[in-house]
């Protein structure tokens, strides 16, 4: 016998295949029969259905199924509808779930043959196979469970969002290209008027600032020398610019051309300054999200690795061999196709360690560095407390490896280095925990003080303040009732009350209440 387990947003369903032997051999006929309900009913029969109690219960079962775990509801449902003594096979859609069911309950599970086609047909006609379930109810159940499941999946720590790193590094790379392109354009444009400035100021950012400051070379004089010196931080270059302007071979340009050059130069300067601000932002985000990876290879290379992998979690799942050639996929597949040499490094080539290594040792250093990057990304992804201790220790190990290739001095054992890192990490965690407790205590104290301030008796609507201590007389907890008056007499009432406080006796009886007049009908 062949049973089919189907998990739906409304509940669990168990179907019996009426022609299990023929189904395994005639898979094409099953695919044709599942398109029509009348033909599909000859293949399967509903044996049992267990609806979920609530939306929360459905979400719990959904999470267990997605992780390949056996929920208590599913376990009870299978034990009630299936007998351990009978000889049957349970068809499931997920291999992990099938392995868990087989290990826990002892039922033989399978996903082979036409089981996937049968599950596809059940999914297509499910609202017609289960009595009392309409198409509208099915869609509502699927929509509600889908929203709940997605909402639970996208919950994350705001301080550790790697999407911001991915977007920032992409924008940073694009800004580098744009600034370089615009800088070359402004150099070519302004060189028609002042070509000598091209060689005197090689830096693109400084060239744009100087261009924006000078404007026309005819207006350049000793008065502007101080401003040029402040921009370049080099008085010799400033004097060279002044001398070159007096004997320049550039052509004369109109005022409107100078205005456009000035506007464009200001735009390039603004882009360069924004690029620096974005770089600082990326550095701070990497310190929050992947501090160990940033300490090992730098925030730029680390951010590129995360961006290329898609997320920090994906990067943590990659082996060191994949991290080593990450970014060199084209060269790898070309080498595999032509049976040539595979690349030794990808994005990690931009790391300073690869540049320092001798040519014959670049491959060894790249493998060693990729191994440390893989470990650092896993620590950053799965550690509860984010610190850069492990990244700094790994950076020291890579530097020691470089020295070993140059001098032959033996490096420290990885076990000893990691033990030191773990000890420092535990000390850091204890310190962070103490600081957090102090912050929580201060926060609770402030909240308590705020509640106490709110609990203080405020003046009533007539403006009568609470009676304070005077001449050693204790405060009374009783408040002297004063009949409400018109607003014009409020000030006089308060003055009379404060001046005659000594006349009031705290043990005096309360003023009698006025009797309500009965309305006569």
CA-closest candidate to residue 225, choices 239, 211, 213, 212? 239
Classify domain 164-281 by CATH number. 1.10.287.4070
Cβ atoms of 191 and 250 closer than 8 Å: yes
- Tell whether the torsion through CA atoms of 342, 348, 349 and 353 is positive or negative: negative
CA-closest candidate to residue 406, choices 455, 338, 356, 351? 356
pLDDT digits (tens, 9 = 90+) for 253-302: 899 999 999 999 999 999 999 999 999 999 999 999 999 999 999 999 99
Q: Spell out, as residue ranges, where the chain has pLDDT lower than 50.
A: 459-494, 496-498, 500-513, 515-518, 520-521
**How does DSSP classify residue 486?**
-
**CATH 3.30.420.220 placement within the chain:** 2-153
CA distance 14 to 49: 6
Residue 20: per-residue pLDDT: 55
Residue 409: per-residue pLDDT: 87
Residue 257: per-residue pLDDT: 92
Sheet holding 44-51, edge to edge: 44-51, 11-17, 2-7, 89-91, 109-110
**CATH 1.10.287.4070 placement within the chain:** 164-281
Which residues, 6 or more positions from 20, have their beta carbon under 8 angstroms from its beta carbon?
1, 2, 89
Domain 2-153 is found in CATH 3.40.1080.10: no
CA distance 348 to 315: 13
What's the half-sphere exposure (Cβ side, CA atoms, 13 Å) at 378?
11
Rounded to 5 degrees, φ, ψ at 7 are -100, 120
Q: Angle, nearest 10°, between helix axes 135-153 and 115-129?
A: 120
**CATH 1.10.246.90 placement within the chain:** 290-429
Q: Which token pair is 392?
A: 């700094």
Q: At CB < 8 A and 24+ separation, what contacts does 478-487 make?
A: 478/506, 478/510, 480/504, 481/510, 481/511
CA distance 332 to 344: 9
Residue 479: per-residue pLDDT: 45
Q: How many CB atoms lie within 10 A of CB 27?
A: 14
Cβ atoms of 421 and 427 closer than 8 Å: no
Q: Is 473 left (phi over 0), alpha (psi -120 to 50) or beta?
A: beta
CA distance 64 to 81: 20
Domain 290-429 is found in CATH 1.10.246.90: yes
Q: From the CA atom positions of the chain, what is the Rg in Å? A: 39
Residue 495: per-residue pLDDT: 52
CA-closest candidate to residue 21, choices 2, 46, 44, 42? 2
pTM equals: 0.60
CA-closest candidate to residue 30, choices 89, 113, 127? 113
Cβ atoms of 73 and 12 closer than 8 Å: yes
Angstrom distances, CA of residue 389 to CA of 367, 381, 386, 472: 22, 15, 9, 62
CA-angle at 395, arms to 392 and 401, nearest 5°: 145
């Amino acid at each position: 016998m062949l049973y089919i387990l189907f998990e739906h947003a409304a509940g669990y369903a168990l179907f019996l295949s009426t022609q299990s032997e023929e189904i395994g051999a005639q898979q094409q006929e099953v695919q044709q029969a599942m398109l029509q309900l009348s033909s599909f009913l000859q293949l399967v029969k509903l044996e049992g259905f267990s609806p979920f109690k609530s939306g929360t219960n459905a979400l719990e079962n959904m999470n267990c199924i997605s992780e390949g775990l056996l929920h208590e509801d599913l376990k009870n449902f299978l034990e009630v509808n299936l007998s351990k003594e009978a000889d049957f096979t349970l068809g499931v859609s997920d291999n992990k779930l099938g392995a868990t069911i087989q290990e826990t309950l002892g039922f033989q599970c399978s996903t082979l043959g036409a089981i996937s086609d049968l599950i596809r047909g059940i999914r297509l006609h499910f609202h017609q196979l289960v009595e009392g379930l309409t198409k509208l109810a099915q869609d509502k159940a699927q929509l509600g469970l889908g929203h709940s499941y997605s909402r639970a999946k996208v919950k994350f720590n705001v301080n550790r969002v790697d999407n911001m790193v991915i977007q920032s590094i992409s924008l940073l790379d694009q800004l580098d290209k744009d600034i370089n392109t615009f800088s070359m354009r402004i150099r070519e444009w302004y060189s028609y008027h002042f070509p000598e400035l091209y060689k005197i100021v090689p830096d693109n950012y400084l060239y744009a600032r100087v261009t924006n400051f000078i404007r026309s070379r005819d207006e350049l004089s000793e008065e502007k020398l101080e401003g040029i010196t402040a921009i370049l931080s080099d008085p010799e270059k400033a004097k060279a610019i002044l001398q070159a302007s007096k004997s320049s071979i550039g052509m004369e340009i109109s005022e409107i051309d100078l205005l456009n050059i000035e506007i464009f130069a200001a735009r390039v300067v603004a882009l360069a300054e924004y690029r620096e601000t974005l770089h600082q932002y990326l550095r701070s985000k990497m310190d929050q999200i992947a501090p160990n990876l940033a300490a090992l290879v730098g925030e730029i290379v680390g951010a590129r690795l995360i961006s290329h992998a898609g997320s920090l979690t994906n990067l943590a799942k990659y082996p060191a061999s994949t991290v080593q050639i990450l970014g060199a996929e084209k060269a790898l597949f070309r080498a595999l196709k032509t049976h040539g040499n595979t690349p030794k490094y990808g994005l990690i080539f931009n790391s300073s360690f690869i540049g320092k290594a001798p040519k014959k040792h670049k491959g060894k250093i790249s493998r060693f560095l990729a191994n440390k990057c893989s470990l650092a990304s896993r620590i950053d992804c799965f550690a509860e407390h984010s610190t850069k201790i492990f990244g700094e220790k790994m950076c020291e190990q890579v530097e020691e490896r470089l020295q070993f290739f140059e001098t032959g001095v033996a490096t420290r054992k990885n076990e000893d280095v990691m033990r030191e890192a773990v000890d420092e990490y535990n000390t850091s965690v204890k310190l962070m925990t103490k600081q957090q407790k102090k912050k929580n205590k201060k926060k609770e104290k402030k909240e308590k003080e705020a509640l106490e301030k709110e609990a203080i008796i405020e003046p009533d609507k007539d403006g009568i303040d609470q009676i304070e201590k005077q001449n050693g007389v204790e405060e009374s907890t009783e408040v002297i009732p004063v009949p409400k008056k018109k607003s014009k007499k409020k000030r006089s009432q308060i003055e009379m009350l404060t001046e005659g406080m000594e006349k009031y006796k705290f043990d005096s009886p309360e003023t009698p209440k006025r009797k309500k007049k009965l309305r006569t009908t």
